[in-house]
């Protein structure tokens, strides 16, 4: 158990809908990251927050947005869903930012999203 908690674990929804994925980081971790893992794209970095502020953006679509709240939990909002958005969405957390020396990133179990 990494200490990173994600809900829901599984989600099935229809095209055009909107969903929210939730993440609670490890106790004491200030950084939260979101990744998407799909069969054809592999592991893709989406976005990074540190202590409530956006720090880095990866391949995140405009239909997707995220935020980190004062209690450090984070939510990833996916809207106007398409079939191609079906994937495993990971949240990860760490004490420091991204590539800081000695920083270790821990991943949650992921949220499986199926768009039908």
Partner 1 sequence: GNSVTQMEGPVTLSEEAFLTINCTYTATGYPSLFWYVQYPGEGLQLLLKATKADDKGSNKGFEATYRKETTSFHLEKGSVQVSDSAVYFCALPSNSGNTPLVFGKGTRLSVIA
Interface residue list for partner 1 (CB under 8 A): 2, 31, 33, 37, 42-43, 45, 48, 56-58, 88, 90, 92, 94, 97-110
Query: CA-CA distances (angstroms) from residue 45 to 15, 17, 37, 54, 106?
Result: 23, 23, 9, 14, 14
Q: How far is the CB of 51 from partner 1 (least distance, A)?
A: 15
Q: 87: closest CA among 107, 51, 112?
A: 112
Of 43 and 116, CB closest to partner 1: 43
Q: How far is the CB of 99 from partner 1 (least distance, A)?
A: 3
- Scored b (16 or more CB within 10 A) or e, 12-43 reads ebeeeeebebebbbbeebbbbbbbbeeeeeee
Q: How far is the CB of 110 from partner 1 (least distance, A)?
A: 4
Q: How far is the CB of 70 from partner 1 (least distance, A)?
A: 22
Of 15 and 100, CB closest to partner 1: 100
Of 51 and 100, CB closest to partner 1: 100
């Amino acid at each position: 158990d990494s200490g990173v908690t994600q809900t829901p674990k599984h989600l099935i929804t229809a095209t055009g809908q909107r969903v929210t994925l939730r993440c609670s980081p490890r106790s004491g971790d200030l950084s939260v990251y979101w990744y998407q893992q799909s069969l054809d794209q592999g592991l893709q970095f989406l976005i990074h927050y540190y202590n409530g502020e956006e720090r880095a953006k990866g391949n995140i679509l405009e239909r997707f947005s995220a935020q980190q709240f004062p209690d450090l939990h984070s939510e990833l909002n996916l809207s106007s869903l398409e079939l191609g958005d079906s994937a495993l969405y990971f949240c990860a957390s760490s004490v420091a930012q991204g590539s800081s020396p000695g920083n270790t990133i821990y991943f949650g179990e992921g949220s499986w999203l199926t768009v039908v």
